[in-house]
Every structure is written in structure tokens, then in C-alpha cells.
């Protein structure tokens, strides 16, 4: 036992010094020292696998060597909090949030149960859910007035994927409560959901599969040129099922994962009310706007009428992975999933595991958001969210004025998708009468250069942008893409520590790289316009925003 003792925390001076050195390593990664000032020191998958394959786990090593290994891991990790990281919006750089994240691991509370597991943590999480309800516009309570688990109108999850699963599960059980005892087979109908196919998140098709409902029971509406749900199309689809009992949910999107377009929630809410259908608002991206009355009223009007809402603080609220919430207008929406309804409704039990479908044990992830709100206050987060919108406006203007890119949409609040297609070349193409085959080749050429530019920037580690596939719904390129999708680059202004200077510096790297390819791109387009042969295969390289 004496030889094992040194491997486990027991608090002595040597271990305290070890953790102080670990904090130095953490900050060396954070400030870029570990990464040589880059967003990422890129290595190929084979290189990374080969490096790991040489490690022999049979014998242990000293703690000093462990610190060296941790530093090495940071060397080849990407930094989402770097000001040159302009991809998916997870800056995770809240000071108070990070302090709480570290402390949470020492606390090691298991949120499945109250007694002997997570007494104080349980009420902290419930209080945080009440704060979020308040910001959304749902009814809310002081924590001292929450008298039972049945009154807890939401739950913490690991991400929007799971929050959306649970929203579908809750809506399904609300519409068909008999399935708890009799199952889906005895319903006599095929339960369906309605959403805009071109802008929906992949979690909905996953959930319909995982819940045994089937992807064929997803009804897709048309999308507008602003990458939002088409209201007429939604109404038409609901009318097709009027008098039936099969549609149990409509999904509205408050910030889709590609362009962050935001649906007209008020209008969709009115339609759902007319047809008596559960409305779920996927606000995993746009949920951060609830901290600003100005932006909430501008983009999320009447969000409080939704039956359920998913939000992801690990996307737009500056805290680390994982952290998401699903919230319900009707407070007891999670009660159908408990085996102990009387205890849950009476206040005899406070075990969150009783009302947490899909989950058993889970950690105290809520502490980081709770602590950040306590640190910054609603007002501090309002300022951060409103600053981000200002950064977004600056980025859109700067890229437009460069005349090297075609923007696929207006930047709503922090995400912008675009392709490399210099204005002078586009003008040449627009003034020529060309065939559909030539348009297809030009689209392929645009894909090739957009991907090449973005991939080189990523592997150089200078700046990092998103890459995924996107429909040109509004035909901005004038190339009539139909069901074909373009490879696009995307900038996200998700980091509150950006400055106009840092954004300009990052965008100038992109523009300079693009200028280097302007000549060859123009030459390739001229070949296509002159009906010369042009063929290229674009390698796959897009990220999660384009998952279907």
C-alpha cells in the first residue's frame, strides 16, 4: 500500500507544487506558448497515431514526466480560445467559468442523487434553471419557492444533440401518454415532426432513428433565402395533416448551425397554436441572445411561447464543453419519465436522476455557468453578447469590401458563410451566356479553391475557419446550384476577447492567401468559359456544421 500511496491525492506540499506547475502548463497552452503562437500545430492523422503507438503503458512514470506528456498533448491540440480561431463558437474563456470547471473535478458531485451524492449542487443546478427560465420569459421562481422536483422545468445535458432528443421525447409523451405502458406499436398512427430540412441540425434525424420513430416520419418544409423556415411551406405541410393525429412537434430554429439564420418564432408559434402542435425552439446557437433584451426582442420575439427550448452555453456563453439545457414551458414535462411520481410531486425526493431521461450518473457541469453568471451578472453577459454582434457586423463589412468573396447571407449575430469568388471574375461570368455544364464546372472550381485556401490556412495554423457544405438558396453566385451544395468557409465571432485590430489581422491573412490564388482561379474560369477541359476532385474536409 505504501508504494501505491504516492499515486493518489492526499494533500502534501509536493502535490500542491505539482498542481501549481500544471496551472502554468495550462496557461502556456492558453497564451500560445505551447503552440508556438499558432492556433494549431498541424500533424496528419498518421503522424499522431504513430506518435502514440510508441508509448508503453505497462510501467508507470514519474509525475514530472506526466507533466511533460500533458504539455505535449497541448502542443498538438487546437485552441478555440485563440483570437485567430474563427471557427465553431466555443471560446470557453470565462475566467470564473474555468475556475469553477477545475473546482468541479475536485468536488466530484454525482448529480443523479441528492442525499450522499450532490446535496448543495442539486439546488445550485435548479437555481440556474430558474435563472434561464427568467431570461427566456417563462415563469420563474426563487429557489426557496421551488417545492418539488415536478416544478423543475428543465434539465442539464451534455449538448444540443441530447437536448433535442429529450425535447422530442417530451413532446412525444405529451401527445401520446399511452406509450409509457403500451409502446409505439399500439398507437395506430406514425408520429411525425416538421422542420426545415436544409437548415435543420442532424440531431433530429438521429433522434427519430434512436427513438424508433424513423427518418421517413420527418416532414421537411422549404427554407427561405435567409436560411429560415418558410412559413407558407410550414402551413401547407400542417394542412396536409389537418384532422390527423400524427404530427406531434414543429421545430423552429433560432440560429441554425450553418448560417445562424433565425426563424420568425412569433409567426411559427401562432401557426402551432392554431394547429395544436408542440413547438420546440432549437436555440443552441441563438440562446445566448436571451441575455440582451435588445437582441432578444430583435431576434427571439415570443420565444417564451415555445413548449420547449434547447440552448448550449458551450456554444455562445463562453464556458467549456460539455453544457446544454432543455427547458419546458410546462414545468412538469419531465415527470412522465420517473418511476416515483408521488415522491417527485410531493417534494419527498430531490434526486435529479428521477427526472433525467437517458442519464444515470453525471457531473456538476452547471457550476461553471452558475459561477460565470454570479461573476459577470446578467448585465455583464449582455455587454459581451452585444459586443459580439458588433464584431459580426465588422467582419461582414470587411470581407465584403475585400471583393474576394461571395457571402451567402447577411450575418445575423455571429456566423457568416462565404466562398472564394472574386468580384471581377464573377462579373466576367455573369456577363457571359453559359451552359448548365459550364455552371457546374464553375461551381466545382469555386469549391476547389475555397477548400484549398481554407485547408492551407488550417494546416499552417495561422488562422482557423469553419468549412462545410451549404446550399446557395438565394442563388447569390448566379450559378443555379439546385440541390448541389457549395463548400463554404465560415467565420464565427464567438470570442469576447476579439478586438477590431485582432479581427482585421486574422482576416488579412485570409485575404492575402486568397489574393495568391486569384490569378490561377481566373485562368481556370477562363478555360471553362472557353469550353476547354476542366476537371478536379475536391477532397472531403468539412466539419460538424455540415453533418446531415
Give the CATH number of domain 154-329; options: 3.40.50.2300, 1.10.3720.10, 3.40.640.10, 3.40.140.10.
3.40.640.10
Q: What pLDDT is recorded for position 327?
A: 98
In the chain, which residues have pLDDT < 50? 1
Distance CA 328, CA 169 (A): 12
- DSSP tag of 229: B
CB-count exposure of residue 343 (10 Å: 0-12, 13-18, 19+): middle
Q: What pLDDT is recorded for position 443?
A: 96
pTM, to two decimals: 0.95
Return the domain boundaries, the chain. Answer: 2-79, 154-329, 376-546
Q: What pLDDT is recorded for position 546?
A: 57
Q: What pLDDT is recorded for position 219?
A: 97
Q: What pLDDT is recorded for position 527?
A: 95
CB-count exposure of residue 321 (10 Å: 0-12, 13-18, 19+): middle
Q: How far apart are the first and last CA of the chain?
A: 52
Q: What pLDDT is recorded for position 176?
A: 97
What CATH number labels 376-546? 3.90.1150.170
Would you say 515 and 111 are in contact if contact means Cβ atoms under 8 Å apart?
no
Note the residue count of the chain: 548
Across all residues in the chain, what is the average pLDDT?
Answer: 94
Q: What is the pLDDT of residues 196-255, one digit of tens each?
A: 988 889 999 999 999 999 999 999 999 999 999 999 999 999 999 998 999 999 999 999
Establish whether domains 154-329 and 376-546 are of one fold: no
Q: Measuring CA to CA, how many Å separate 234 from each of 129, 196, 206, 222, 413?
A: 31, 8, 22, 8, 25
Q: What pLDDT is recorded for position 199?
A: 87
Crossing angle (nearest 10°) for helices 160-175 and 202-210: 50
Amino acid at each position: 500500500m505504501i508504494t501505491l500511496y504516492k499515486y493518489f491525492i492526499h494533500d502534501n506540499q509536493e502535490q500542491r507544487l505539482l498542481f501549481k506547475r500544471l496551472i502554468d502548463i495550462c496557461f502556456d497552452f492558453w497564451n500560445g506558448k505551447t503552440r508556438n503562437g499558432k492556433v494549431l500545430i498541424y500533424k496528419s492523422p498518421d503522424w499522431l497515431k504513430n506518435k502514440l503507438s510508441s508509448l508503453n503503458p505497462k510501467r508507470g512514470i514519474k509525475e514530472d514526466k506526466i507533466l511533460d506528456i500533458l504539455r505535449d498533448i497541448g502542443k498538438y491540440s487546437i485552441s478555440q480560445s485563440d483570437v485567430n480561431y474563427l471557427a465553431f463558437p466555443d471560446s470557453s474563456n470565462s475566467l470564473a467559468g474555468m475556475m469553477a470547471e477545475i473546482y468541479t473535478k475536485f468536488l466530484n458531485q454525482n448529480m443523479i442523487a441528492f442525499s450522499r451524492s450532490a446535496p448543495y449542487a442539486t439546488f445550485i443546478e435548479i437555481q440556474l434553471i430558474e435563472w434561464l427560465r427568467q431570461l427566456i420569459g417563462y415563469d420563474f421562481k426563487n429557489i426557496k419557492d421551488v417545492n418539488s422536483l415536478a416544478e423543475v422545468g428543465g434539465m442539464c445535458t451534455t449538448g444540443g444533440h441530447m437536448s433535442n432528443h429529450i425535447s422530442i421525447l417530451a413532446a412525444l409523451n405529451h401527445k401520446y401518454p399511452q406509450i409509457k405502458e403500451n409502446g409505439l406499436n399500439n398507437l395506430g398512427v406514425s408520429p411525425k415532426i416538421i422542420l426545415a430540412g436544409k437548415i435543420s441540425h442532424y440531431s433530429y434525424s438521429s433522434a427519430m432513428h434512436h427513438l424508433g420513430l424513423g427518418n421517413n416520419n420527418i416532414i421537411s418544409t422549404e427554407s427561405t433565402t435567409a436560411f429560415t423556415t418558410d412559413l407558407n411551406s410550414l402551413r401547407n405541410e400542417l394542412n396536409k395533416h389537418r384532422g390527423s393525429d400524427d404530427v406531434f412537434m414543429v421545430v423552429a430554429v433560432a440560429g441554425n448551425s450553418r448560417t445562424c439564420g433565425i426563424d420568425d418564432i412569433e409567426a411559427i408559434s401562432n401557426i402551432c397554436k392554431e394547429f395544436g402542435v408542440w413547438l420546440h425552439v432549437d436555440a443552441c446557437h441563438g440562446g445566448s441572445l436571451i441575455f440582451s433584451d435588445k437582441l432578444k426582442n430583435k431576434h427571439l420575439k415570443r420565444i417564451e411561447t415555445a413548449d420547449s427550448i434547447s440552448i448550449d452555453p458551450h456554444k455562445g456563453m463562453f464556458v467549456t464543453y460539455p453544457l446544454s439545457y432543455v427547458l419546458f414551458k410546462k414545468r412538469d414535462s419531465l415527470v412522465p419519465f420517473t418511476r416515483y411520481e408521488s415522491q417527485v410531486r410531493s417534494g419527498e425526493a430531490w434526486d435529479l436522476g428521477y427526472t433525467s431521461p437517458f442519464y444515470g450518473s453525471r457531473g456538476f457541469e452547471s457550476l461553471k455557468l452558475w459561477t460565470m453568471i454570479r461573476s459577470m451578472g446578467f448585465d455583464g453577459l449582455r455587454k459581451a453578447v452585444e459586443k459580439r454582434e458588433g464584431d459580426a457586423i465588422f467582419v461582414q463589412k470587411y470581407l465584403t469590401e475585400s471583393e474576394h468573396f461571395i457571402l451567402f447571407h447577411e450575418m445575423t449575430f455571429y456566423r457568416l458563410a462565404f466562398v472564394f469568388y472574386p468580384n471581377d471574375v464573377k462579373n466576367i461570368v455573369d456577363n457571359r451566356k453559359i451552359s448548365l455544364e459550364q455552371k457546374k464546372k464553375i461551381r466545382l472550381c469555386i469549391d476547389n479553391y475555397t477548400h484549398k485556401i481554407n485547408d492551407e490556412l488550417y494546416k499552417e495554423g495561422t488562422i482557423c475557419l469553419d468549412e462545410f457544405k451549404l446550399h446557395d438558396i438565394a442563388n447569390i453566385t448566379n450559378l443555379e446550384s439546385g440541390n448541389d451544395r457549395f463548400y463554404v468557409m465560415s467565420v464565427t465571432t464567438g470570442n469576447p476577447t476579439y478586438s477590431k485590430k485582432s479581427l482585421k489581422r486574422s482576416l488579412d491573412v485570409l485575404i492575402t492567401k486568397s489574393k495568391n490564388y486569384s490569378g490561377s482561379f481566373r485562368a481556370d474560369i477562363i478555360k471553362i468559359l472557353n469550353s476547354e477541359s476542366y476537371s478536379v476532385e475536391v477532397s472531403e474536409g468539412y466539419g460538424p456544421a455540415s453533418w446531415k
